[in-house]
Amino acid sequence: MDFRLKVFHSVACNLSFTKASRELFISQPAISKHIHELEVQYKTPLFERTGSQIRLTRAGELLFSHTHSLLASYRQLDFEMNLLTNNFLGDLHLGASTTISQYVLPPVLALFIKMFPDIHVSVLNGNSRDIELALRDGKITLGLVEGTTRQNTMHYIPFMKDELVVVTHVGSKLAAYDELTLEQLCALPVVLRENGSGTLEVLEGALAKHQIKLSQLNVLLQLGSTESIKLFLENSDALGILSIRAVTRELMAGRLKVIDIEGFKAERTFSFVEPQGQNSGMEESFMRFASQHWQ
């Protein structure tokens, strides 16, 4: 593939010459030179520049859609050619929502890298919405998300069940409770994940089944990570609502306690997500490998 197209794709994904330079390990003047050559070749600007900001022109958007497909085809070609000689080589660009990237994915990645040391793996971390946007923009080729919302342009493949639980620190006054009613849950102080997180989305859906809105909860604050919520709970008399997979160690160590909520369940499914129509061998192989491990 023409390296200039790879340069263009990196700039288009990042909307930054500087970030593309870092990503491709070439100088920024070299990035500019490659883009200029493409603009001369196609006789049209590919980016509009406003101060320090850039965005794609209509011609740039068209070229971006083609380079995205071309890069996927080249990855598939490399994978299939290497399969013939049992050499597993290439790049795997993953994105995982926060709970999955912290508590589910790392053990699988360790085994995968040990088995296939010549595959270069990168992982982008963010909430479920961030991961779907990164897929759309071509920054990653496979996502692992935890929400329930489904985008029409994406294909979702379930791989694991999960449940949200209400927890508090064992030193909290609330640790005296073994079970709460939904009315009590609404009245007691609670710490939640940020807007856009899969965890909050699942909680919102589960509460809606009981005609309860998030705004009816006594929310002390929302935090951007599960770890920050767990640390907050260690120093407060509050409840947190988190994935059971995220608090397993703390429960076993006796630092956190699960409090049951009468008649209430907040369950979800973790899913792989990829753009509709994408069928790259590298991503398919990772999904099979990971699914076998989790089963």
pLDDT in tens, 77-135: 766 666 556 656 778 899 998 889 999 999 999 988 888 888 889 999 988 888 999 99
Residue 190: how many CB atoms within 10 A of its CB? Answer: 23
Which residues, 6+ apart, have CB-to-CB distance to 169 below 8 Å? 175, 233, 234, 235, 236, 255, 256, 257
H/E element holding 158? strand 154-169
β-sheet bridge partners, residue 180: 261
Please provide the CATH number assigned to the domain covering 161-267: 3.40.190.290
| Residue from 88, 156, 163, 99 nearest 125 by CA | 99
Provide mean pLDDT across the span 145-153. Answer: 79
Best CA proximity match to 126, nearest among 117, 114, 118, 137: 137
H-helix or E-strand spanning residue 73:
helix 58-84
* Residue 156 contacts residue 236 (beta carbons within 8 Å): no
pTM above 0.85, yes or no: no
Domain at 88-158+268-290: CATH code: 3.40.190.10
pLDDT band at residue 215 using 50, 70 and 90 as cut-offs:
very high
Contact 97, 196 (CB under 8 A): no
Reported as a pLDDT band with limits 50, 70 and 90, residue 187 is very high
Look at residue 262 and tell me whether its pLDDT is greater than 90. Answer: yes
Least confident of 33-42, 89-98, 210-219, 285-294: 285-294
Q: Which residue has the higher pLDDT, 234 or 280?
A: 234
- The pLDDT assigned to 285 comes to 81
CATH 1.10.10.10 fits 1-83, yes or no: yes
Domain with CATH 3.40.190.290 in the chain: 161-267
Where do you find CATH 1.10.10.10 in the chain?
1-83
Residues of the chain with CATH 3.40.190.10: 88-158+268-290
pLDDT at 263 over 90: yes
